[in-house]
Amino acid sequence: MEREQALQMVRPQLTEHRYLHTLGVMETAIRLAEKYGADGKKAELAAIFHDYAKFRPKDEMRQIIKEQKMPAILLEFNSELWHAPVGAFLAEKEAGIQDGEILDAIRFHTSGRVGMTLLDKIIYLADYIEPGRHFPGVEEIREMAGNDLDAALIQSMKNTIQFLMKKNQPVFPDTFHAYNSLVKNKEGD
């Protein structure tokens, strides 16, 4: 699927603000893919579809999670997590994306996972650092991303975990496991 066709499919599903965010994620993902040797077309497509389900009704997402036998634990956590796995399902079903690597990058862009692929890392990080994001610490991670993808990813997950803990919100287990895995791998470098 070409960029313009993908953007035309995604745009009606998003608010104007979220569409601009998606464009920023796309450009950031392409840049990171070029820097770290990932497939730029896959990064582009995963970035375009990463928030495809973001504004679907919660009832629809809950139903898809149940019907598709996605991990039930998702329903025990904030519904903000749901759009990633539901988005991967809908990108395959509605957009015909068959590439498992692209679908996984969409699926895990909010939680991360143990054994993240290069594309997973790029989409997770591009979503976090795209130019429209403005919050404490984002500039530091943008700078880190230019030198060390894993270090930037570890810091972004650490920030997310700390943010959730400060708000007394539960942290999805896959995020803790992804963080731990990345830290252990980094120590082994």
What local confidence, expressed as pLDDT, does residue 186 receive? 85
Residue with tokens 């025990």, as numbered in its chain: 76
Give the model confidence (pLDDT) of 131-171 as tens digits.
999 999 999 999 999 999 999 999 999 999 999 999 999 99
Token reading at 125: 């990080």
The model scores a pTM over 0.95 = yes
Question: Taking Cα atoms as reference points, which of 56, 28, 40 lies closest to residue 3?
Answer: 40
Query: What pLDDT score was predicted for residue 189?
Result: 67
Cα dihedral: 148, 84, 52, 75 (round 10): -160
- Tens of pLDDT, residue by residue over 94-138, are 999 999 999 999 999 999 999 999 999 999 999 999 999 999 999
How would DSSP label each residue in 103-155?
Answer: HHHHHTTTT--TT--HHHHHHHHHHHH-TT--STTHHHHHHHHTT-HHHHHHH
Domains of the chain: 3-134 (1.10.3210.10)
